[in-house]
Structure 1
Amino acid sequence: MRNNLYKDLPPLERRPDGSLYRMNPAQRKQANALIRRECCNCENGNCIALDDGDAHACPQMISFSVCCKWFRWSVLPLAGTLEAEIYRGWDLKRCAVCSGVFVPKSNRGKYCPDCAARVHRRQKTESERKRRSAVDS
């Protein structure tokens, strides 16, 4: 007999009112692509963890709520931006350079981590160039 993989996972987070977190259609499309692409307990649209001899549709692929523990704890962390959009919808900002969504580390965050390195390197170069040109020779 097969071990139930779900028993080892922590319970799903819920909103303060007790409801599950919901996804909009764009987020659901990303989640379904992630389920098909990454290692999820889903094979040909059927959930392996629910397998009892009959084919059971993957509950996460047919739902707009985050209802599968395996998806939540094993697959969703692989897509940090999607996870942040679903769970921290109000704490997100858009990058001023690439318009990507990111979770800021402070209230002054303006750039995503990828763009921040490039922007700060360019700003430092310009500052050093300006400082060197101001020195009297």
Structure 2
Amino acid sequence: MAESTSGGEAILHKTFHSYTVRKAQGGSQSTKDNKGTHSKSAGSSLRRYNEQSLAQHIQELMKTWGPDIVKCDLIFYRAVGRSNMSSLFGGPSAPLLKSDPRLRTIPFPTRRPTFNEVQRVHSLLALTFIYGELQNT
């Protein structure tokens, strides 16, 4: 899930859906493979292919959005797990650099990455909470 906004309105938006998670197991196929058991079923092969394809799509999208990403003041991201982190920060032409001072992780739990969830996260990140009393000075 990726989005770029201007004044709260989405100007760039793309959602990917891929079958990469093992049903009733909750984890990715690559995590299962890294534990030493390498399944040979059609489902496991499909999940492996979809994981690689998803990472490639993310990197290609980030590359095409490069000029817009350069203009961003802050970049918030959620990438749990090694494969998700490598989609953003790995490879010879990584879309983002870990040393970029604009990068921030989202500081609260998020749900499934849908466009509605991105809008919810954006609205929460844009809020300002003031605790205590304001004093006019």
Structure 2 length-normalised TM? 0.25
Rg comparison, structure with higher value: 1
Q: Which has the higher strand share?
A: 2
